């Protein structure tokens, strides 16, 4: 697991490939928007690579990396760690955790999650929060395996789009 430190065509392509597997209605971010994520001090985009899957899109037929691709293999998963300070301390959230369907069940999601928790700890966060839809059964089991506890809470959302009283 590693933090994306620069925006490349490979990274933007991976985000565009992975994000629809997480949310069919998500708008794909532009390269500039991916750069905002990577360069923000509040967000860390972690990526998982895997060269053990054999050739995937962007790899040459012998399974080696394509020109400009990391020799550790293609990006097969991502996670965004958000850390921020509020009056009660440093908080951390995991967002947009997704592993490519072809790589699921092989530990990439768990490795990303553990790396993010370790990074949040080094940044002084007291807790790490996340939300996950009930339909993501495998992901929810993995979060519990790693040590996340289901909280009794009510999550609210205020839509800011057309039709809201603020529009």
Q: Assign residue 81 the CATH number of its domain.
A: 3.40.630.30
| β-bridge partners, 45 | 80
162 located within any domain:
no
Q: What is the pTM of this model?
A: 0.85
14 has a pLDDT exceeding 70: yes
Give tens-digit pLDDT for 153-166: 998 988 888 877 76
Element (H, E) at 28: none
85 located within any domain:
yes
Task: Give residue 74's pLDDT band: very low, low, confident or very high (50, 70, 90).
Answer: very high
Separation CA 24–CA 27 (nearest Å): 9
Task: Show the domain range for 126.
Answer: 2-146
157 located within any domain:
no
Give tens-digit pLDDT for 23-46: 989 999 999 999 999 999 999 999
151 located within any domain:
no
| Number of domains composing the chain | 1
């Amino acid at each position: 697991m590693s933090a994306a430190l620069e925006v490349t065509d490979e990274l933007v392509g991976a985000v565009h490939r992975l994000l629809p597997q997480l949310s069919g209605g998500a708008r794909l971010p532009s390269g500039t928007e991916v750069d905002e994520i990577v360069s923000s001090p509040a967000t860390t985009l972690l990526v998982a690579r895997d060269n053990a899957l054999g050739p995937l899109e962007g790899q040459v037929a012998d399974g080696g990396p394509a020109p400009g691709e990391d020799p550790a293999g293609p990006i097969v998963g991502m996670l965004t760690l958000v850390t921020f300070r509020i009056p009660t301390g440093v908080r951390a959230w995991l967002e947009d955790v997704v592993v490519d369907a072809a790589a699921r069940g092989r530990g990439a999601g768990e490795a990303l999650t553990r790396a993010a928790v370790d990074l949040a700890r080094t940044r002084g966060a007291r807790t790490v929060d996340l939300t996950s839809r009930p339909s993501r059964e495998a992901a929810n089991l993995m979060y519990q395996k790693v040590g996340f506890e289901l909280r009794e809470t009510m999550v609210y959302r205020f839509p800011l789009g057309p039709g809201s009283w603020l529009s």
